[in-house]
């Protein structure tokens, strides 16, 4: 049985035709190479890179962030925002838990408990809204 169950790929190379010769290996680049063609300027070696591709743009004088980047400028404000975020996330988790309880009670037919739970959800939303309104300069 010489036939394969799968048809031959039309884009596959024919094994009876000899392959094209391999490309010569690339030269190893070392800075200050003895081979002058490797020491050409970048724009000659890579003509597709334009002078305004970014790194050689004359308008760019300094790269990276400015002085003091990565250091905390106002630690008190940062700790206050972290505390408010933690409190708000706690309230949101409580809201999700309360919503689960309210839906369970509603589906069980206990509408009185469900309405108390809905009041809890509204109250917790007002707490988060109050936290948001507490300090408008932090927005």
Write the DSSP assignment of 88-124 as a string of letters. Answer: HHHHHHHHHHHHHHHHHHHHHT-HHHHHHHHHHHHHH
> What does the pLDDT read at residue 52?
61
Residue tagged 């009041």 (tokens): 119
Note the pLDDT of residue 107: 92
Please report where in the chains the tokens 């009670």 appear, as a residue.
Answer: 105
pLDDT of amino acid 49: 64
Query: What global pTM score does this model have?
Result: 0.43
Residue matched to tokens 């309405």: 115
b/e code 94-130 from CB counts within 10 Å (16+ = b): ebeebeeebeebeeeeeeeebeebbebbeebeeebee
Asked if 120 contacts 98 with a C-beta cutoff of 8 angstroms, the reply is yes
* Cα→Cα distances 17→3, 11, 12, Å: 20, 14, 12
**38-65 per-position pLDDT tens digit:** 777 776 777 766 666 566 556 666 666 7
Task: Give the span between the Cα atoms of 100 and 102, in whole angstroms.
Answer: 6
The per-residue pLDDT for 108 is 92
pLDDT under 50 in the chain at which residues?
none
């Amino acid at each position: 049985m010489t036939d394969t169950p799968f048809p031959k790929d039309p884009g596959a190379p024919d094994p009876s035709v000899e392959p094209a010769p391999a490309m010569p290996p690339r030269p190893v680049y070392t800075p200050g190479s003895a081979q002058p063609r490797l020491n050409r300027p970048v724009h000659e070696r890579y003509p597709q890179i334009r002078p305004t591709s970014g790194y050689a743009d004359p308008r760019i004088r300094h790269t990276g962030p400015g002085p003091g980047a990565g250091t905390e400028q106002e630690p008190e404000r940062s700790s206050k925002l972290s505390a408010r975020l933690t409190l708000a996330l706690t309230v949101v988790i409580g809201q999700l838990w309360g919503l689960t309880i309210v839906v369970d009670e509603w589906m069980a037919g206990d509408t009185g408990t469900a309405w108390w739970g809905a009041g809890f959800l509204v109250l917790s939303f007002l707490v988060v809204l109050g936290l948001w309104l507490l300090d408008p300069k932090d927005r």
